[in-house]
Amino acid sequence: MALSTITARVDEKDKASFDTFCSNVGLNTSTAINLFVKAVLRENRIPFEIAQTTDPFFSEANMAYVKKSVQELKAGKSTVHELIEADDE
């Protein structure tokens, strides 16, 4: 079987961390990448979920809570407080 080379640019720290991880689980980097390639070909897909993570502040539940709080504030059903900053000492 003829071999081919894949070249990819990766952040230095990520590569070092990946190399360390691979070593810790008894693999080298090339073997780990080959495992990934074989999994993609076998499953005909990326073998893990790829999702965009979002800030939990902007979750639907939190945004509904914020909108409700703003409505209550506008309707005079809440109290406005001054921001009190704690001393760093």
pLDDT tens-place string over residues 68-88: 999 998 998 888 788 888 776
**Host H or E run for residue 23:** helix 12-24
What was the pLDDT predicted at 88? 60
Average pLDDT of the chain is: 90
Q: What is the mean pLDDT of residues 50-66?
A: 85
The pair of structure tokens assigned to 10 is 């990766």
The residue among 9 and 86 whose pLDDT is bigger is 9
66, 63, 87, 88: which is closest to 78 by C-alpha?
A: 66
What was the pLDDT predicted at 89? 54
Q: What is the residue extent of each domain of the chain?
A: 12-43
Q: How far apart are CA 88 and CA 42, in angstroms?
A: 57
Give 40's DSSP letter: H
Rounded to two decimals, the pTM is 0.56
Cβ contacts of 46 within 8 Å, gap of 6 or more: 40
What was the pLDDT predicted at 50? 83
